[in-house]
Structure 1
Amino acid sequence: MIGLEGLGDLRIGQAPPAGGSWAERGAQTSGACRTVSSPRYPGVYAIVSGGKVQRITVGQRSDVKLAEGLGVGATERDVKKWFGGFREEPHKYEKAPAKYLTAPNAASGGPAVRFEIGRDGKVSLIHIGLMPVLAYVEGCS
């Protein structure tokens, strides 16, 4: 289960755990930003910037869910039932009705959640993290 604090031993705002299963695996890496993943969580990756986890993304191949039971494949309607006041924004790459649904507290500086809704009206990605990285649309940018 993923929450605002993180996933397993991977914590938002903290360094990836030393000696754990989270490591760079050929994804984006640079001095300023890198992505890490774990074989324990297929379809999940994290963005690390400044040495700390800024965002965790749950993708298509993952069965990780929020405490509310929502995961990839949930309907927009289900998301809005649990998270009614989320800000809607047009999707950068997909035509409407695809969109982003972002927690109203995202700009406050604390961890927040952001859903990507596909043209089929279902969750395609779930992001947990800190702004501005929470809103990145291409990995480290």
Structure 2
Amino acid sequence: MTEDAPREAAASPTPVSATVLRLEGLGDLRIGRPVPKSGAWAERGAQTGGACRTVSSPDHPGVYAIVSEGKVRRITVGQRSDVKLAEGLGVGSSEKDVKKWFGGFREEPHKYEDGPAKYLTAPNAASGDPALRFEIGRDGKVSLMHVGTMPVLGYVEGCA
């Protein structure tokens, strides 16, 4: 290793975590923690105020978070987002690809779409630890991707 190596690594333009959804969260937005005071995450339209609210950021189009009891409980990635999991999966990925990476997920029928639409939820979701949940559309592709803790991870209508 040369003396220049640490400086080169530190100079990378955008941290990977800025567009990679992890069980811990997305960038500085972390599951189980308050919304960061510095940053662009804020209430915009949708569900605001009260015990449960949603926040979004112009830096992450198509992504919103559910905040309950003052802490981020779920992050949802939708259609207009380029955010993906470290495995490369994101909105538009096939159910087949999801099952390659996450074969033991529990399947449930989708509440608003006919089959083969469904929810695929991590087997550890009931533990209270952060977990993944995918919504698969009738076309067999990921329509929404969530990371969070139950019961909020399982909500189908924002804060409900």
User: Helix, strand or coil for the counterpart of 1:70?
Assistant: coil
Higher RCO (C-alpha 8 Å, min separation 6) = 1
Structure 2 residue runs of 5 or longer lacking an equivalent are: 1-19
Corresponding position: 1:44 with 2:63: yes
- Structure with greater Cα Rg: 2
User: Helix, strand or coil for the counterpart of 1:61?
Assistant: coil
Work out the CA distance in 2 between the residues paired with 1:66 and 1:50. 26
Describe the superposition over 1:44-102 as per-residue Cα deviations: whole angstroms up to 9, x where unpaired: 00000000000000000001000000000000000000000000000000000000000
Question: 5 Å matches for 1:66-105?
Answer: 66-105=85-124
- Which one of 16, 31, 40 corresponds to residue 12 of structure 1? 31
Work out the CA distance in 1 between the residues paired with 2:50 and 2:65. 15
Q: What code does the residue aligned with 1:68 have?
A: E
Work out the CA distance in 2 between the residues paired with 1:64 and 1:73. 11
Corresponding position: 1:35 with 2:66: no
Q: Percent identity?
A: 82
Work out the CA distance in 2 between the residues paired with 1:97 and 1:26. 32
Shift of 1:111: 0.0
TM-score when scaled to structure 1?
Answer: 0.99
Structure 1 residue runs of 5 or longer lacking an equivalent are: none
Work out the CA distance in 1 between the residues paired with 2:58 and 2:46. 14
Figure out how many residues of one structure are paired with residues of the other and give that number: 141
